[in-house]
Amino acid sequence: MTAPPRPGTGPLDIPTASGGLPLIGHLHRFAANPLRAFEELRSAGPLVRIRIGPRTVYVVNSVELVHHMLITGRADYDKGGSYMDPLRELMGDSLAVCSDDVHHVQRPLLQPAFHRSRLPGYLEGLAEVAVQQVESWHPQQVLDVNEEMDRLSTGGLTRSIFRDPVATRSVQQFQRDLPLVLDGFALRVALPALGRLPLPVNRRFDQAVRRSQEAFREMIAHRRAHPGDHDDLLTFLLLPEHHDKGLLTDELAALHLWGFMIGGIETTASLLSWTLHTLATRPDHHQRVREEIDTVLGGRPPTYQDTAHLPYVHSLFTEMLRLYPPVWLLSRTTRRATDLGGHRLPAGADVVFSIWTLHRDPTVFHDPGTLAPDRWQDNRPPNAHRPGYLPFGAGSRKCIGDSYAVAMATLTLAVILQRHTLIPAPDSNPTPRARMALRPAGLRLTVQPRTPV
């Protein structure tokens, strides 16, 4: 499923979405409900023009064209555009958002840190961290699920990245500032010009970013002064061979930490929140998951090695990542004038694609709006689905921590279901909220004593 470039017509021949208004273009549609707006664009064709204020943005609705951008024709595209540029302002040259020129150097350095052989060490003790929080829940307590999953994801990720006690204070500061960072980021994506005005939301955002970045710098300085014996990601980022060669600096290491924390917390918390919502409202899936966890674990705490023996949990997570991809939108910019779908795009063109929309394409996934974990086998998408399944991206820019995130979510879910049954609270009314990650806004679940299944 590829889209080889061929001589094409110019950008003005690309169909323009209807409903644009003077000055603001299509901004009102995407600000009100971006997920619906992207889905509605699918009927306009594989490549559609929209305007966000003065900017022209090209929206790609075709799996084949996205595959070309990310794989076969990726040399013509770089990270950037309307979604990635605000992220780069936030996270600098961290791995997920840096330009390809930086990525070509940094990815090979960091890839060994995420090799599967290192995951057992990173995840050692994660169940203990999760148990401490989950056992603090009491019967009839109503949980703000997004908040609780943020806490669980932060605790688990912290256990992997930095294990010395001094990190605790810095991580707590980061956790307090994260909501302010996300609010400010959402404004910068929707209305970049407003992100530069002295508004209260922008002042809070700038202060939160400065505090968080300073916290990571303090952690690195402390580790430099007190190296210790810590088998964690921070130790890997400070290996002298990388710094002696000038390939890494402490400032860049701090940016990588910043990016891993934001990306890891948001991705894992989103996956867990949507999964708990599904299990709370679908007893059939809840029973299958609980029975599998009970059979494999027999009541003991889960370990990384157990993740290979929970196939239904894997299938459920794969399906949740299809229906509710945490990274719901990606953007690229063209390095040079290039052809896409029979049209000539200029150099510097802003190109976006919605993973939410691609994952719900009925030409790729049968009955795409239906929850069907059994459509996946051994957690591997069938060949017909693989190009259209992009929860962590694809190609050389695929998320470096995808396996880690799913493993962490698996262990955390097992800890929760071993101890509690969660049911919808009377005031729970979850709706998809598309910000940096796709979250179920308004999701509230009530803790009940675990009952036999």
- Asked whether residue 143 is assigned to any structural domain, the reply reads yes
Distance (Å, rounded) from C-alpha 326 to C-alpha 269? Answer: 9
- Asked whether residue 223 is assigned to any structural domain, the reply reads yes
CB 202 within 8 A of CB 233: no
Of the CA atoms within 13 Å of residue 78, those in its CB half-sphere come to 17
C-alpha distances out from residue 157 to 95, 125, 213, 345, 408, Å:
17, 11, 17, 40, 8
Instruction: Please give the single-letter amino acid code of residue 315.
Output: S
- Asked whether residue 364 is assigned to any structural domain, the reply reads yes
* Residue-level pLDDT at 193: 67
CB 341 within 8 A of CB 11: no
Distance (Å, rounded) from C-alpha 360 to C-alpha 260? Answer: 28
- Buried residues in 317-338 as b, exposed as e (16+ CB within 10 A): bbbbbbbbbbbbbbbbbbbeeb
Burial class (CB in 10 A: 0-12, 13-18, 19+), 260: buried
Paired tokens of 331 = 């953007």
* Residue-level pLDDT at 5: 46
Distance (Å, rounded) from C-alpha 311 to C-alpha 292? Answer: 8
- Asked whether residue 1 is assigned to any structural domain, the reply reads no
* Residue-level pLDDT at 378: 61
- Asked whether residue 3 is assigned to any structural domain, the reply reads no
- Asked whether residue 322 is assigned to any structural domain, the reply reads yes
Distance (Å, rounded) from C-alpha 443 to C-alpha 404? Answer: 25
- What sign for the dihedral angle of Cα 136, 265, 219, 159? positive
CATH code of the domain in which 436 resides = 1.10.630.10
* Residue-level pLDDT at 449: 86
Structurally, the chain folds into a number of domains equal to: 1
Of the CA atoms within 13 Å of residue 30, those in its CB half-sphere come to 27
Reduce the DSSP state of residue 5 to 3 states and report it: coil
DSSP lists the bridge partners of residue 51 as 56
Distance (Å, rounded) from C-alpha 433 to C-alpha 91? Answer: 22
CB 430 within 8 A of CB 277: yes
DSSP lists the bridge partners of residue 142 as 446
Instruction: Please give the single-letter amino acid code of residue 214.
Output: E
Transcribe 262-325 into DSSP letters: HHHHHHHHHHHHHHHHHHHH-HHHHHHHHHHHHHHHTTSPP-GGGGGG-HHHHHHHHHHHHHS-
Distance from CA of residue 146 to its chain's centroid? 14
* Residue-level pLDDT at 190: 62
Distance from CA of residue 164 to its chain's centroid? 26
User: In terms of residue numbers, what domain contains 377?
Assistant: 11-449
- Asked whether residue 2 is assigned to any structural domain, the reply reads no
CB 247 within 8 A of CB 416: no
- Asked whether residue 92 is assigned to any structural domain, the reply reads yes
Burial class (CB in 10 A: 0-12, 13-18, 19+), 168: exposed
What does R_g of the chain's alpha carbons equal in angstroms? Answer: 22
Paired tokens of 138 = 């009491």
* Residue-level pLDDT at 210: 87
pTM of the model as a whole: 0.92
Q: If the chain, 453 residues long, is cut into consecutive pieces of 10 residues, what is the mean pLDDT of each piece?
A: 53 86 90 92 94 92 96 94 79 89 93 89 86 95 95 86 71 78 73 75 87 85 82 86 89 88 90 98 96 96 95 96 96 95 94 96 93 81 74 92 94 97 94 91 94 63
Place of tokens 């979850």: 430
